[in-house]
Amino acid sequence: MEVSEWKARLEREREEKDRFLAAHWQSPIPPQERTRFKGLAYYPADPAYRFELEMHEHEEKNIIRMAYTKGNEQEFLRWGEFWFTISGQKQVLQAYKSDLEEKRLFILFRDSTSGRETYGAGRYLDLEPERDLTPDGKWILDFSKAYNPWCIYSKDYTCPLVPQENWLEVAMPAGEKDYHLKKE
């Protein structure tokens, strides 16, 4: 895909999300706050944060218990990992699934922007095979699509916290920035 096409698609997706958050009945933003919502803040689209990577699937799918923002826990399977280099440093991110039948890969991460420019608890990526798997079997890991969990918008939600194994030591200035229409 051409860079200009990628950027245009990303802009459309961001506009759609802003419309959803502003007006949809399933928006996580409380109804009384939606009139003040003017859209999310994003880093500029940068293809340097888009990778096509082989996933190194784990032979043993170990169970990891992830803590949630409200104190509960949920089990996930450590499915595989991605290796990539950013800012001259090798990075590893674990990908998880909720169960053996799940097709989607779930990636949570924190980086050095967390708590400064982005949500302190981290951001997420969802990888869907029909959308994010290339014909040659590589996964598209596009940090410009990194999003905030719904618990940033409302205390009514609980979200998994990023396991320490997915805390990156580098900045990942891509995707959604921190949400500034904070809840009380």
Domain boundaries, the chain: 41-166
Spatial separation of the C-alpha atoms in residues 133 and 114, rounded to whole Å: 28
Spatial separation of the C-alpha atoms in residues 108 and 43, rounded to whole Å: 18
* Residue 67: its H or E element: strand 63-67
pTM reported for the whole predicted model: 0.93
**Closest alpha carbon to 104 in 134, 126, 123, 77:** 126
pLDDT at 95: 98
- Residues 6 or more apart in contact with residue 150 via CB below 8 angstroms: 28, 157, 159
Q: What is the mean pLDDT of each run of 10 residues along the chain (184 residues)?
A: 90 97 95 92 96 97 95 96 95 96 96 95 97 96 97 94 96 95 51
Spatial separation of the C-alpha atoms in residues 145 and 173, rounded to whole Å: 11
Q: Is 81 exposed, middle or buried (0-12, 13-18, 19+ CB in 10 A)?
A: middle
pLDDT at 1: 66
* Sign of CA pseudo-dihedral 135, 139, 144, 150: positive
